[in-house]
Amino acid sequence: MRRGRIFFLLALIVFLGLVAVVLVFLRLRPAITPQPSPSVEATPVIDVVNVLVTTQKVPRGSVITRDVVSLIPIQRQFFLQGMFSDIKDVEGRLARIDLEAGFILMDTMLANSAEELSAQGSDIALYIPRGSVAVAIPIDRLTKASFPVQAGDRVNVAVVHAFVDLDTEYQSKLPNVAGEAIAPGTREPTVYLTAGISAPVGEGSGNAGRAETIPGLGQPIMVVPSEPQRPRLVAQVILQDVTVLSVGNYGATLTGAVNAANVQQAAGQPEQAPNQPAQPPPPQPIPEFVSLIVTPQDALMLTYLMANGAQFTLHLRAAGDNSRVQIEAETLQYYLNKYNVPIPVKLPYGLEPRVDSPNMPVISIQPTPTPNP
């Protein structure tokens, strides 16, 4: 009996232990949720549309053909009104402007006829920003920074003025010419019926002078100028960071008209023998004017200065430099003070031979012809 009771108690303890283990396992086990099976993401479909682009450079006025355009796909959200998707829509039309390779064709870039193309004006006007104008000023080899300025460069414009003293009423250069007032009456050997003024005789006669007294003698004299009035020069930079639109003839410098003319001239000449040396190409002429992009007010100011015979000089700026500095006007007094130039003292001796003006060397540049290969 005792063994049976012990066995029963042991079995009960084992059973309760198993029940406790099961309860603890169920309480501590995390809830298992079914994981969704990975789904394959669908590739988004990009809505594209074909547009026409140029495959090579198309000069202004050229006819659009199938050989110079091609279709490329772009996203529909980038498709703008005026673009073309069919070659038939552009075939036979004319280019309004110079089209580079890779340009997406727009309706505003094409014209339907030569009359419509000519009504749009010159293509050089396309390079002028709104609110600005182009004005041409005269230049030469020296005033144009020794002839390196080209279209697209940035320059400063300097001007030199020559000021003279004027008579306020007559607006004529001083000194005035004086004449003797003659009253009516008899004056040997002529009889004057009315009043008049005798004309000056001889060079320098009749110039208004100033009364002075000879030192030591007390003799009054009239001092008159020995030469006409010397103008007083002043130089100043009037415009800074100005864009050069063209140099010389626009058609010759930017559109290749000179090259076309040379080709036509060469086509009309007979071919040279193989043993004869090749003829050098004709030198290009030095341009006589340059066109600048300025404001309307500055253009009017340049026109006024040209009408008054002002001398212009262009100062070539460094690439990418758009800074502006305060520049003082250059006069004789400013030059002497700024650069510490002394006025020579009158000495009892001098140099021989006599030099009245600096003898600067005359520079004559002959263009070197480029030999043909």
Number of independent structural domains in the chain: 2
Question: What pLDDT was estimated at residue 330?
Answer: 96
> Whole-model pTM?
0.57
Domain co-membership, 145 together with 89: no
Question: Above 90 in pLDDT, residue 292?
Answer: yes
Whether residue 241 sits in one domain with residue 159:
yes
> Is residue 168 situated within a structural domain?
yes
210 vs 311, which has greater pLDDT?
A: 311
User: Residues 110, 235: one domain?
Assistant: no
Same domain for 151 and 295?
Answer: yes
Look at residue 19 and tell me if it is in a domain: no
Residues 305 and 239 in one domain: yes
Range of the domain at 293: 122-176+230-259+286-320+328-343
Q: Are residues 83 and 149 in the same domain?
A: no
Q: State residue 261's pLDDT score.
A: 39
Q: In terms of domains, do 171 and 291 share one?
A: yes
Q: Is the pLDDT of residue 7 over 80?
A: no
Q: What is the pLDDT of residue 150?
A: 86
CATH code, 52: 3.90.1210.10
367 belongs to a structural domain: no
Instruction: Tell me whether residue 339 is in a domain.
Output: yes
* pLDDT tens-place string over residues 19-70: 677 676 777 665 555 555 666 666 777 888 999 999 999 988 889 999 999 9
- Residue 209, pLDDT above cutoff 50: yes
User: What does the pLDDT read at residue 121?
Assistant: 67
* Residue 312 and residue 253 share a domain: yes
What 45-50 contacts at long range (C-beta under 8 Å, 24+ apart), as own/partner pairs, is 46/75, 47/75, 47/76, 47/77, 48/73, 48/74, 48/75, 48/76, 49/73, 49/74, 49/75, 49/76, 49/79, 49/85, 50/74, 50/85
Is residue 160 a part of any domain in this protein? yes
Q: Look over the chain and give the mean of its residue pLDDT values, rounded to a whole number.
A: 78
Q: Are residues 105 and 147 in the same domain?
A: no
At 216-237, the pLDDT tens digits run 888 888 788 888 889 999 999 9
Top mean-pLDDT range of 78-87, 188-197, 363-372 = 78-87
pLDDT of residue 288: 83
Pairwise CA distance, residues 249 & 151, whole Å: 11
Quick check: 97 and 107 in contact, CB under 8 A? no
Whether residues 90 and 170 share a domain: the answer is no
Is 130 contained in some domain? Answer: yes
Same domain, 171 and 237: yes
pLDDT digits (tens, 9 = 90+) for 326-344: 999 999 999 999 999 999 9
